[in-house]
Structure 1
Amino acid sequence: PKAVLPALAGAESVLSNHGRDMIGHAQATWGVTEGNPIWEEMREVALMTNPTFLLNVTLN
């Protein structure tokens, strides 16, 4: 999901997903996916886009 939102999303979507209301939510914490509004929104967007591959690159 994180490879789609925020990676491929527009600025408005990223700012909403990482905004004060989402970050301040009681369930928005590291390592929690179930009930975490940030993760759930990223997952929902990823499922709508149906990505077929991901390419990560690390430069040295």
Structure 2
Amino acid sequence: MRRFILCTALLFAGGLLAGCGNKGPLVLPPGQSGSTVAPNASVPAPATSAPLPDGP
């Protein structure tokens, strides 16, 4: 009997936890059309090294 109550309580708790979270369809933020790359993505400038100082 004790095992039955424990299993029932665990199943009930699992059911409650499974019901947590956002409900409804997935909604993208405004301005997102589903593409992964932004149309105005800028390319970073190539890195340049500073000139080395003259030695002693």
Fold shared per TM-score above 0.5: no
Q: Which has the larger radius of gyration?
A: 2
Q: Which has the higher helix share?
A: 1
Q: How high is the TM-score relative to the length of structure 1?
A: 0.28
